[in-house]
Amino acid sequence: MLGAANMFSSDFTNLVGTVGITADQNPGGLGFTDPPDHTRLRRMLTPEFTGHRLRRLGPRVESIVTGQLDEMAATERDGGQVDLVQQFALPIPSLTICELLGVPYADRADFQRLSTTRFDLLGGVTGSLGAISESMEYLLEIVKRQRAEPGEGLLGQLVRDHGDDISDHELAGLADGLLTGGLETTTSMLALGTIVLLRHPESRAALRANDAAIEPFVDELLRYLTVVQVAFPGSRGNASRSAGARSRRATSCSAR
């Protein structure tokens, strides 16, 4: 039932005109489209997330984690205060997404800011969409550079594989979706997961003693923790525009 796009739509255009939302705030990407557009984009993106493709990132992710641990150790040796979020939980997914997309390390700070501002509940729905609009402008510039000189990352590969069959706005929307789905969520999981381990020394000891316990422990953390505190606007599709206008609602939720 929830997969029926005519009843429960993700199409951003259904939200235009509600609670101050305008058409130029449409971020595109998989999260704000219905079939057939959603199906076409997903088919383009799926091959880039096979186990074989992602395993290429393994050594780089390991290097990123090691680098952040070394930085934390250096801070402690120098008598400073180690910040788990700023020195570990946030840089790891940020640098990994930069690596995945094929964008420069220098863009890390912008990636972090553009991702986290959209989850600021104080700005409401329009505040989050405003942050997404800013993110799209930034990502469109990256896409234009990748279009001119395709790199080895995800964006460059999509340009090489699909050329003009995928637009700059669609490429930026897919990149924005990775920011939305991958940065804040992973940052929260790393930070909150550490808190769980600090509160449960018996679990910490079990993980140290048995590497095989790590994977099921991570699965349990995914069930146990709430890593995002807001949902984006959604809509319920209807046969007529007038009925749709009456039934659409911009929703946000705060879990636990």
For the stretch 139-173, pLDDT in tens is 898 899 999 999 888 999 999 999 999 999 999 98
Assign residue 102 a region (left: φ > 0; alpha: ψ between -120 and 50; beta: otherwise). left
CATH number of 22-213: 1.10.630.10
Nearest to 236 by CA among 36, 27, 40, 1: 1
Res. 247 pLDDT band, cuts 50 70 90: very low
pLDDT at 152 (0 to 100) = 86
Q: Residue ranges of the domains in the chain?
A: 22-213
pLDDT at residue 238 greater than cutoff 60: no
pLDDT at residue 209 greater than cutoff 80: yes
* Gyration radius of the chain's alpha carbons: 20
Give the type of residue at 105. Y
- 79: tokens are 């008598």
Q: Is 100 helix (H, G, I), strand (E, B) or coil?
A: helix
Give the pTM. 0.73
Report how far residue 212's alpha carbon sits from residue 192's, in angstroms, rounded to the nearest whole number: 21
pLDDT at residue 240 greater than cutoff 60: no
Of 32-41, 80-89, 97-106, 129-138, the range with the highest mean pLDDT is 80-89
DSSP code of residue 9: B
Report how far residue 75's alpha carbon sits from residue 72's, in angstroms, rounded to the nearest whole number: 5
pLDDT at 252 (0 to 100) = 32
pLDDT at 239 (0 to 100) = 33
∠ Cα 13 16 17 (to 5°)? 155
DSSP code of residue 8: S
